[in-house]
Structure 1
């Protein structure tokens, strides 16, 4: 998220085009897509308290080093290596919560974990966009490092010892890939993420160049988008066990599609925010609901499914970012 928020200053500071700067997100998405399922097998037996804390510290250290890189060529590999921490943390956090929660509350617990994505948009994206415009992208990356370190300490203090989801196995992967309903669910995520990130990656330069937004207005647009996203995620987390994950996913995808169809009407900042409101409502909530749906369809395969789902999200971010540029 910090890359999308600071894209304007990245282009100025590193003297590259918007399309080239956007490849930072595309390359990171490729690393995440490959890393999430592959690393899930590597870390299967590690206690989740230690694993999640170390993943966050890796992420923090990588962004701190990235903030010191003098050129785009130096920044690209450091950024790519740093997101390996996220490739571990996101699916493994969801898998760990799925193990700790009672079966009747598993769907709500998993969607609550992904509420963090919405909160990061409310706090992280507008803050990084403002810092990027006012003080430069390096300070925004440094802030990410600080926040990730704080999160690592929080995980260490709150997550109990001994949380170890079932180890990934070849037999389990074979059952996943041989299950048509599960694979169809993952492909919904793949195409949904591809469509969204074609535009989402370049929100900041679009706001500035097309709609004439100031740095403060860009931050405000990200903040409102994230705030609506939190509302959507809270709604899904609260009601998913009652209405069912499939209905929740369908409703959120309809919200996203509505915004994309109305995009040409966003000819000013107020109109654009109105156009984006349904998208914001469904953006993060749809991902949370999909995670819960996969976990509920085949609870015994939860670690494999969550890793595969993460692949689906990240695998289509990269082509989306490339096409959007």
Structure 2
């Protein structure tokens, strides 16, 4: 990826706008999970069926990220990212007005194509604008928007869903995405066009065993987290007996620890290296999933969730930086595939979690989540060792 460094003020302005854009994207991705209790009651569907809104949206994001990255690679990123957020805003507004589940499902799927485009292309754009020595920090700083969505958006969705209804939570996402579109249009300069990749370069990425293994780590980690995370709102209510404010508090605490982990990563990643960071944060997630059954009250859950929450967003951010550093010339494709892997993991996790809830209830969710995460750790270590032995092969 041939860099075209921008001036520090221009770079900072672009980072702020793209961070807010990712905040809006993250709020949209999380809005179903946060407002699931009211959504399933309002539309008169089961918890498992309501959770499939996450799976279907994730499948569309998974497939859409690489395909749309290839189709739209020649577009100016200011135009592309602004139009993507406008699509996202319109889609969430239509979802909020959907009369029934059958209408909501396809609207949700099409809306989430915006997320498939925005996150990887925002990372590629800021990486192209930043000097090489600041690229890792620039990419992870933009991804902080997702952490902020967990801190502010997820608990707000939960509270709005419980107090006013899920439609208002979707409406909030529409407003945020609209504001993000305006901000990105003002902050990003014209002419931000990371080089388009030829079909041969895409083939190089897709057939590279180590790079694809790193991408698969993201999918496995996502499956581990969303097997459980997709259903924590009904879990908190039905198992812990938590009310609306307590559920919002639990989401806010989870997001606050996630933000803390991402902030720490952003400051240290260029020093400790992204591969090592992925390994450490995945280990924290595994510990949290192992301890999950001990959270038998709201107070205990606030403690038990800490190691998982601390690593949740930092892992994804470190994976973005890891792929960008492993093969800078292939970064647009790799970041699109990594985003695809995030959503593939969400789809697998939400779908497998729904089956488990239907068959066995909530009790077995954490064990399956832990199994996915341990596979991610093992594969990450393998890829790290391969790159260490042959760094010039990438």
Of 51, 56, 63, which residue of structure 2 is paired with 1:22?
A: 51
Offset at residue 178 of structure 1 (A): 2.8
After TM superposition, the structure 1 = structure 2 runs for residues 116-265 of structure 1, keeping only pairs within 5 Å, are 116-265=145-294
TM-score, length-normalised on structure 2?
0.82
Q: CA separation in 2, counterparts of 1:320 and 1:251?
A: 22
Runs of 4+ with >6 A deviation: none
Aligned residue number for residue 306 of structure 1: 335
Aligned residue number for residue 316 of structure 1: 345
Say whether the 8 Å CA contact 2:62–2:341 is kept in structure 1.
yes
Say whether the 8 Å CA contact 2:116–2:340 is kept in structure 1.
no
**1:273-299 per-position Cα deviation (integer Å, ceiling 9, x unaligned):** 211111111000000000000000100
Offset at residue 242 of structure 1 (A): 0.6
Say whether the 8 Å CA contact 1:94–1:306 is kept in structure 2.
yes
Aligned residue number for residue 125 of structure 2: 96
Give secondary structure in 2 for the equivalent of 1:211.
coil
TM-score, length-normalised on structure 1?
0.99
Give secondary structure in 1 for the equivalent of 2:45.
coil
Count how many residue pairs are aligned between Structure 1 and Structure 2.
325
Offset at residue 170 of structure 1 (A): 1.2
Q: CA separation in 1, counterparts of 2:53 and 2:197?
A: 30
**1:176-209 per-position Cα deviation (integer Å, ceiling 9, x unaligned):** 1232221111111111111110000011000000
Q: CA separation in 2, counterparts of 1:147 and 1:177?
A: 35
Give secondary structure in 2 for the equivalent of 1:114.
helix
Q: Supply the RMSD in Å over aligned alpha carbons.
A: 0.8
**1:67-95 per-position Cα deviation (integer Å, ceiling 9, x unaligned):** 01110001111111111111110110001
Aligned residue number for residue 35 of structure 1: 64
Q: CA separation in 1, counterparts of 2:178 and 2:44?
A: 30
Say whether the 8 Å CA contact 2:265–2:314 is kept in structure 1.
yes
Q: CA separation in 2, counterparts of 1:227 and 1:139?
A: 23
Structure ranking higher on relative contact order (CA contacts 8 Å, 6+ apart): 1
Of 276, 282, 289, which residue of structure 1 is paired with 2:311?
A: 282
After TM superposition, the structure 1 = structure 2 runs for residues 64-75 of structure 1, keeping only pairs within 5 Å, are 64-75=93-104
Say whether the 8 Å CA contact 1:204–1:218 is kept in structure 2.
yes
Say whether the 8 Å CA contact 2:37–2:234 is kept in structure 1.
yes
The answer for unaligned runs of 5 or more in structure 1 is: none
**1:107-141 per-position Cα deviation (integer Å, ceiling 9, x unaligned):** 11111111111001111110011000000000000
Q: CA separation in 1, counterparts of 2:299 and 2:180?
A: 34
Aligned residue number for residue 366 of structure 2: none
